[in-house]
Structure 1
């Protein structure tokens, strides 16, 4: 028909995700953003993929120390639910950097680690990813109810009464929202018991730029312009960065003051342009009287835990994470 034009690119994210004028999406090879050399393996950890949402073809990667299966009657381990990063538009639970982090966490905490796949934007705009996370926790509740009739690895090794919800970057944002759903009883999970949550380099936003966003240093791993593009491509069409998913303390967001949140571990890399948002999140919760442990990593970049999963900062993070997970058994005065 006269006047028709072929679909053209209206949004291009790092040459990896292109949104076309007809609403379709073209995806490239994300491996170009990953490590150039293979990452070392972590011995002594078993892992497998399990489908948790058949209709959407979504899986969870289950990790556990091999020793957990080799010792009869061994003590069950805490459960660390983990959501990968990527600004809700990129990333996969199977990518080498996220896989490496989960291997280390399973071995070193030790814990049963559940790395969750979720749908990505712009094909599936928010709150699709959060809905998937809620579906996963409902699946996990079902596993706990089944007991020995559920997945054999979980039945043998997982202490569902010591479950932690965690994530990095957008995964940390997702972890926040799921924890709030659980804490407000909008998402029933019993007999699973969420006893803490962990935000690593949390991906939050807002309509107005913070000081660290307005005056970002050169060479940051996640420039503020990319942050804003990720929100534009992942939030509902027409939403601003003050949407409650992006900004938990924005004008449209419900108050967290009455919510009985479990203890939080907030990890803030101080070389991150989102530093002010992460520090502000922890400060606001502390002002409300919430139990928050804030750990700052001087000079580290956004997502350092997965960008350099075997560096010294990642080593220290594993120690911090292990203390947080295991102190929930005998809460210390802080």
Structure 2
């Protein structure tokens, strides 16, 4: 799409929007007060949570969420979750993601393992994918009572929101190639909640929502510039999963029998790309499900309880239908 009209000119300063300063050495200084954090609790109700180190040298860790109802019921599905933040912000402790995982654990119900990964630009992609892959090996070998006693390892789902959905997607490719080494963990599918993906060619939804309050185009561009490997453009596979006809690894996903759920809304600038991904996966006979709602905005379910309740219904239908396969 060539040219831009006045309505498609981005007027948002992405550095001010993100409240970051890029330093001469390529690192960024983040506003420590921009995102609130929540602490885990092993004695709260209706969900318990605790933090566990994965790799001390990388400072990676997980926050595990256990609904207290699990002590009186059968084993629960396991969700391995990756938080959003454009690859450059937030953590598993960020209140918005802590609350989201807590609520999922209770309302689905499920055991949720929320993974903290290294951030860009200090650690550009594929560092986050490397960290994600390491989490699955940790879960496989873990003797943590919360997992061994309460998680159904035959019903594991890889999930993420926004940039975390991008990580879940690429982590799925990686662990899909080593499923034999992950036993007894059995992955049933991917849940991509408003996946953060891009490309060099502007889409209609990106231009229509160029100055969107929640994900302006200039902010997306900057986050990709700070997170992609130096020297590549936004048609790199880390950013654009549909470039060059998509990934050859989709065939492996189909052979494994994994299913994929993509959720989004038409108030999200990335919806055109998400829908294109759905159609390409469907054309390759990957088991695909989608839920696109009207209105809303990028990851609206993180902020609006009524939208979250709808998402939970979608997740439950997907997860329990996948469990029957």
Would the TM-score normalized by the shorter structure come out above 0.5?
yes
Partner of 2:163: 170
Out of 311, 319, 323, which is 1:317 matched to?
311
Q: Secondary structure of the equivalent of 1:14?
A: helix
Q: Secondary structure of the equivalent of 1:191?
A: coil
Partner of 2:59: 57
Using the TM superposition, give the Cα deviation of residue 234 of structure 1 relative to its aligned residue in structure 2, in angstroms.
Answer: 0.4
Trace 1:180-329 onto structure 2 (pairs within 5 A).
180-185=173-178, 188-216=181-209, 218-251=211-244, 254-261=247-254, 262-308=258-304, 310=305, 312-329=306-323
Using the TM superposition, give the Cα deviation of residue 26 of structure 1 relative to its aligned residue in structure 2, in angstroms.
Answer: 1.7
Measured in 2, the distance between the counterparts of 1:24 and 1:300 equals 33
Q: Deviations over 1:186-230 (max 9, x none)?
A: 894222111011000100011111111123265441011111110
Q: Deviations over 1:51-79 (max 9, x none)?
A: 1222212111101111213x3xx411110
Using the TM superposition, give the Cα deviation of residue 253 of structure 1 relative to its aligned residue in structure 2, in angstroms.
Answer: 5.9
Paired residue total: 303
- Unaligned runs of at least 5 residues, structure 1: 1-10, 36-41, 144-149
Given the two structures, how large is their TM-score scaled by the length of structure 1? 0.85
Measured in 2, the distance between the counterparts of 1:307 and 1:246 equals 25
Measured in 2, the distance between the counterparts of 1:128 and 1:80 equals 21
Q: Secondary structure of the equivalent of 1:207?
A: coil
> Would the aligned equivalents of 1:243 and 1:253 in 2 still touch at CA under 8 Å?
no
Q: Secondary structure of the equivalent of 1:52?
A: strand
Q: Secondary structure of the equivalent of 2:124?
A: coil
Which structure has the larger Rg? 1
> Would the aligned equivalents of 1:242 and 1:252 in 2 still touch at CA under 8 Å?
no
Partner of 1:134: 133
Q: Secondary structure of the equivalent of 1:56?
A: coil
Q: Secondary structure of the equivalent of 1:251?
A: helix
Q: Deviations over 1:70-89 (max 9, x none)?
A: x3xx4111101110001101
Measured in 2, the distance between the counterparts of 1:265 and 1:13 equals 34
Measured in 2, the distance between the counterparts of 1:68 and 1:254 equals 38
1:124 has 2:89 as partner: no
Flag the 1:275–1:34 CA change in 2: closer, same or farther, 3 A. farther
Flag the 1:166–1:307 CA change in 2: closer, same or farther, 3 A. same
- Unaligned runs of at least 5 residues, structure 2: 1-13, 38-43
Trace 1:44-193 onto structure 2 (pairs within 5 A).
44-69=46-71, 71=72, 74-143=73-142, 150-185=143-178, 188-193=181-186
Using the TM superposition, give the Cα deviation of residue 177 of structure 1 relative to its aligned residue in structure 2, in angstroms.
Answer: 0.5
Partner of 1:38: none
What is the RMSD computed on CA atoms of the aligned residues?
2.1
> Would the aligned equivalents of 2:211 and 2:217 in 1 still touch at CA under 8 Å?
no
Answer 1 or 2: which has greater helix percent: 2
Using the TM superposition, give the Cα deviation of residue 33 of structure 1 relative to its aligned residue in structure 2, in angstroms.
Answer: 5.5
Q: Secondary structure of the equivalent of 1:259?
A: helix
Measured in 2, the distance between the counterparts of 1:329 and 1:84 equals 24
279-288 vs 188-197, which deviates more? Answer: 188-197
1:20 has 2:23 as partner: yes
> Would the aligned equivalents of 2:160 and 2:192 in 1 still touch at CA under 8 Å?
yes
> Would the aligned equivalents of 1:244 and 1:252 in 2 still touch at CA under 8 Å?
no
